[in-house]
Structure 1
Amino acid sequence: MVDDYYFGFPTLLDGAETVPPEDVGGIPGFYEFLQIYRDPQHPEHKETKTWADSQYFKEYDPDRINGRLKSRMYKKTEWDKIQHENHRVIEDKYRKS
């Protein structure tokens, strides 16, 4: 999380996977769930997909996440007015001059 970010709204910069649904059985259960969920040929696929839908499970999709984050009301940072002892500008691909 970068509190004072260039875009002026929260932005997902990196990620790997979505959050597990409730009661999926911890990390091992989550990976087993994903294997079944993503394999239409698996005998438990249809049942698993129905259960996942009831849990509002969504596959990891950074574009969808960033689209939702853009819709939040968020004030753009005014860099020249930051007065915080723990503030420091870090270099990243979005702040190149």
Structure 2
Amino acid sequence: MPRQIFQLKISLAGVRPTVWRRVLVPGGYTLDRLHRVVQHGMGWRDCHLHSFEIDGIQYGEPDPDGELALTDELDVRLDAVVGKGSRFHYTYDFGDWWEHDLVVEDAVTADPEVRYPSCLDGARACPPEDIGGPVGYHALLAALADPRHPEHRSMREWVGDRFDPAAFDPGRADTLLRRFC
């Protein structure tokens, strides 16, 4: 039986202009592997907790203290819980609370000449880790956009000269996906 590939659009909620990625992911991936696709495709560093919500069920790494009721993401294949047209959510960093909207735009047969997962397209840089969620990110963008802003210099120093909120390199994201997922 040929492998099924899902075309997913991942959009970061609460951020304007929208930060998004379009990726191709094998349907046989576990949600744990999809977590890595989201991390590397978006540009996160995977240093915080995360969870998926699909049809009202929470998936993630089981909490050893039992405080979070999560179904183990290692036990669940993507194609067992979603299909073409499905919408679901991924939350990263329960402090900053980055919500991602995921849509299964298409389901196709794997091309034997293509390596998966892959990044097809996207827009804008991923926000820096620990910026304070969407509110903090909007404050950063405002400070960076206005050289007269009282926080301009400190924010530029904190985020570094290389950070460009408008930049996104799908080729780099594609390389990271193939190397780490």
TM-score of the aligned structures, taking structure 2 as reference length: 0.30
Higher share of residues assigned strand? 2
| The structure with more radius of gyration | 1
TM-score of the aligned structures, taking structure 1 as reference length: 0.50
Higher share of residues assigned helix? 1
